[in-house]
A and B are shown apart, each in its own frame.
Chain A
Amino acid sequence: DAMVIQNPRYQVTQFGKPVTLSCSQTLNHNVMYWYQQKSSQAPKLLFHYYDKDFNNEADTPDNFQSRRPNTSFCFLDIRSPGLGDAAMYLCATRLGLGGYNEQFFGPGTRLTVL
């Protein structure tokens, strides 16, 4: 089945130790999103790619970076995680622009910062 896959599902890191979360998709969607979600709040968009074009949200901290080496894969790098970065990180994909297609979400990676 076509899907969005996130690895790992659970990640524990230490304060200040860099961590990378990965997302892959078999949907061949050209748009990919990274969200941060804290304790049952609404997901907060960090950035998105349209093909290789990177779009950062204005309030996304510099501590968060992303890479998309090809259509299928996208990575979220947290350079120096703080306790406040503990959250669920969701990857989503979507076909095309225009806004009428829905986003498909992966299962998420829950990040714990010790």
Chain B
Amino acid sequence: AQSVAQPEDQVNVAEGNPLTVKCTYSVSGNPYLFWYVQYPNRGLQFLLKYITGDNLVKGSYGFEAEFNKSQTSFHLKKPSALVSDSALYFCAVRDGDNTGKLIFGQGTTLQVKP
């Protein structure tokens, strides 16, 4: 069965420092991986995805993620954090049944302090 894990409930980082939000996955077949961000009382916003190709994926708002097949990871990164990046981040993997359904991680709250 497909699964995704976000090992950290919360990540704290100072503004201007690099940030990493971790995600590991377990899939049969090729993984389709996604990152979403959710601000309070809002829906999820798509940040980036990995389908195939270059392991470093660039997305919205300066975020990027690195696909690592050997470590089965897809960590989200940003070189310089902003206070406005503070939000709830979800990693997701496509469910294997080809319907486009997503299996979400439990979410990681990112807190960026000035």
Interface residues of A (CB under 8 A from B): 4, 6, 31, 33, 40-43, 45, 48, 50, 55, 88, 90, 92, 94, 96-108, 110
Contact A108 B42 (CB under 8 A): yes
- Segment of B13-21, B63-71, B99-107 in the binding face: B99-107
Provide the bound-state CA to CA distance between A28 and B66, in Å: 31
Number of interface residues of B (CB under 8 A): 25
Nearest B residue to A91 by beta-carbon distance? B43
A102 to B34, CA, bound (A): 8
Task: Give 7 A-B contacts (CB < 8 Å), ordered by A residue.
Answer: A31-B100, A99-B95, A99-B98, A101-B100, A102-B49, A103-B46, A105-B45
Q: Chain A contacts of B43 at CB under 8 A?
A: 4, 6, 90, 92, 105-108
Write out the residue numbers on chain B whose beta carbons fall within 8 Å of the beta carbon of A40: 88, 107, 109
Decide: A105 near B44, CB < 8 A? Known: A40-B88, A100-B51: yes
Question: Of the candidates A42, A99, A107, which one forms a contact with B100 in the assembled complex, judged by CB atoms under 8 Å apart?
Answer: A99
Which of B42, B51, B106, B109 sits near A42, CB closer than 8 Å?
Answer: B106
- If A42-B106, A45-B102 are given as contacts, then 10 extra A-B residue pairs at C-beta distance below 8 Å, sorted by A number, are A48-B101, A90-B44, A96-B100, A98-B100, A99-B32, A99-B95, A99-B100, A102-B46, A106-B43, A107-B43
